Amino acid sequence: MADGKDFLHFIDGRFVASAGGGRFENRSPVDGSLIGHVAEGGGAEVDAAVAAARAALRGPWGGMPVARRVELLYAVADEINRRFDDFLAAEVADTGKPVSLASHIDIPRGAANFKIFADVIKNVPAETFEMATPDGGQALNYSIRVPRGVVAVVCPWNLPLLLMTWKVGPALACGNAVVVKPSEETPGTATLLGEVMNKVGIPKGVYNVVHGFGPGAAGEFLTAHPGVNAITFTGETRTGTAIMKAAAGGVRPVSFELGGKNAGIVFADADFEAAVDGISRAAFANCGQVCLGTERVYVERPIFEKFVGALKARAEGMRPGLPQDQATGIGPLISQEHRAKVLSYYEQARADGATVVTGGGVPQMPPALTGGSWVQPTIWTGLPESSAVIREEIFGPCCHIAPFDSEDEAVQRANDTPYGLCTTVWTSNLSRAHRIAGRIEVGLCWINSWFLRDLRTPFGGSKQSGIGREGGVHSLEFYTELRNVCVKYA
C-alpha cells in the first residue's frame, strides 16, 4: 500500500510517488500527531491515471463478460471483509471516529457496495420493441447498456470508504474504469483498496487513485481532464458548482451528492423516546459530519420543553475519547481547520442571541488529546430563522430546536432552505406522515426513522443538495449509456 506510513498514488496497478516528489502531511484528528505523508498529485499523475484507465477499457476489462466482472466484484467485497481490521484501522486513523461506529457502518458498507452492484448488473432487464417497416418487413429494437468510459470519482472525508465505494462499486459493475480523488484528509482506505484490487485480479488501470487537493490541484485537473467521460462527486455544494463548470467543457455528465441543511420534525403524538433517539443520532453521529444529519429540529409546542431537556441529556451523555475506547460516544472533527469553521458558528449563534442549551465550545480533554479537533455537542434554542446558523450547513455536532404549532408551519419552515437532501419526521399519525412526504422538498424522507438505507433505493438530493439519484438500478442511469440497436429482418 504505502511506503511505511506514506500514502502513494495507485496508478495502473502500481503504487507510485508523485513525479516531482511532492507530498503533504496527514495528521490525526484525535491528537494532532503525524500519521504519515501523502503523495501530492498534479497534472502528471492525473494524466497517467486517466491514460491507464483508458488503456484498461481497451484491454481485458473492456471485453470482459459481465459474469466475470461480477465474480471479481464479489472477490473485492470478500477481500475487504478478510482485511476488515486493516480497513478499520486506516479509517479510524484518518477520521478519529469511534471504532464502534466505523466497524458497524463504514467498513461493512464499503464491502457491501461491491456486492450489491454486482447483483444489480447481473439482473439488468432489457427492453425490446418490434416494429413494422415501410417495406412491409419488420425490425426489432433492443437497448444495451454500455459503460460511460473513464469515470472521475471525487470524494469527501466524512465517510471515506463508504462514500467512495458507493461510486466505485457501480462504476466498475457497469464496466467503467475509475480515477478516484480521495479527500486530502482521508487517504488511507482508498489506497488500501488498491492492494485489494491487485490481490483479487482486477486488471491494472481499472481502479486508480490520485491523491492531492482540490482547487488548482489534482481534483480540478481530474474534473477538467478531457479524457474523463463522466464525473461523480460527493462534497460541498460550492465545490459542486466549480466541478459543474469544469464538466461543461466536453459536455460531460455529472452525478452530485452535495450539502444539506436537513430538518427534523417531531410531532407531539410521536413515540417520544424513539424520536429523541433518532434526532440525537441525526444531530450528533459521526460528530455531526453526516450529510444526512439534522441541524434544524422543529418540535410541536406541547412537547418542546420536554424534548429539549431529553436531547440535552443525550448530548451531555456522549463522552469524547479515543476511538478504541468502547465508552467513547463522540470522536473529534476531521481537522483543526474544520473545527475553526464549526466554532465560528458556535460564536455566531451567541452573537445572534441563541440560548445555549448545552455545549457551545471545546471539551476538557486529557493533556495527550488537547491537540485534537474536539468540540462539544451543542444545542441551541431561540434563534431567528434568518440566522446563518439556521441557514448554512455547519457539519458539526449541533442543532437548533424551535417549537411549531401546526403541520403547515412545520412543512413551510422545513422547506425554507436552498437545500433539499433529506428530512426525518416523527409522528404516529400515518395520514400526516404520507401528507408530509408528498410536500417536503427533499430527495429522502424518513418517517419514524433516520439513515435507514436499503441500497436498492434511489439516493440523492433535490434543490442545491444534488443532481441525479444513485442506488440499485438508478445508478445504471449514470454509469452506463443506453444504446438502441435496431435490427431489420424480412
Q: Residues with catalytic annotation?
A: 257, 291
Element (H, E) at 119: helix 107-122
Is there a contact between 105 and 54 (Cβ–Cβ < 8 Å)?
no
CA distance to 203, 331, 399, 403, per residue, from 261 (Å): 41, 21, 10, 18
From the list 11, 38, 121, 154, which residue makes contact with ligand NAD (rule: CB under 6 A)?
Answer: 154
Site for ligand NAD in 378-397 (CB under 6 A): 393, 395
The residue at minimum Cβ distance from ligand NAD is 214
For 31-96, give the DSSP string.
T--EEEEEE---HHHHHHHHHHHHHHHHTTTTT--HHHHHHHHHHHHHHHHHTHHHHHHHHHHHH-
Rounded distance, CA 296 to CA 385, Å? 10
Residues in binding contact with ligand NAD, number by CB under 6 A:
32
Cα-based distances in Å from 186 to 178, 215, 261: 18, 17, 24
Verify binding: residue 257, ligand NAD, rule CB under 6 A: yes
Binding residue for ligand NAD (CB under 6 A) from 213, 355, 458, 481?
A: 213
**Residues within window 407-446 making contact with ligand NAD, judged by CB under 6 A:** 421
Closest to ligand NAD by CB, 158 or 191: 158
Q: Which is nearer to ligand NAD, 184 or 300 (CB)?
A: 184
Q: According to CB under 6 A, which one of 183, 191, 381, 464 is a site residue for ligand NAD?
A: 183
Could you give the C-alpha distances from 48 to 11, 77, 168, 230, in angstroms and in order? Answer: 7, 27, 19, 17
Q: How far is the CB of 390 from ligand NAD (least distance, A)?
A: 16
Which residues between 284 and 323 bind ligand NAD (CB under 6 A)? 291
Bridging pattern class, strands 422-426 and 262-266: parallel
- Residue 461 contacts ligand NAD per CB under 6 A: yes
CA–chain centroid gap for 8, Å, is 23
Taking the complex as a whole, the smallest distance from the CB of residue 217 to ligand NAD amounts, in Å, to 8
Instruction: Please pick, from the candidates 181, 296, 314, 474, the single residue that binds ligand NAD as defined by CB under 6 A.
Output: 181
Stretch in the footprint of ligand NAD (CB under 6 A) among 257-265, 294-302, 348-356, 480-488: 257-265
Residue that the C-alpha cell 502531511 belongs to: 25
Q: How far is the CB of 341 from ligand NAD (least distance, A)?
A: 10
Which residue in this structure is represented by grid cell 466484484?
73
Which residue ranges make up the site for ligand NAD (CB under 6 A)?
A: 154-158, 163, 181, 183-184, 213-215, 219-220, 223, 234-236, 239, 242-243, 257-260, 291, 393, 395, 421, 461, 465-466
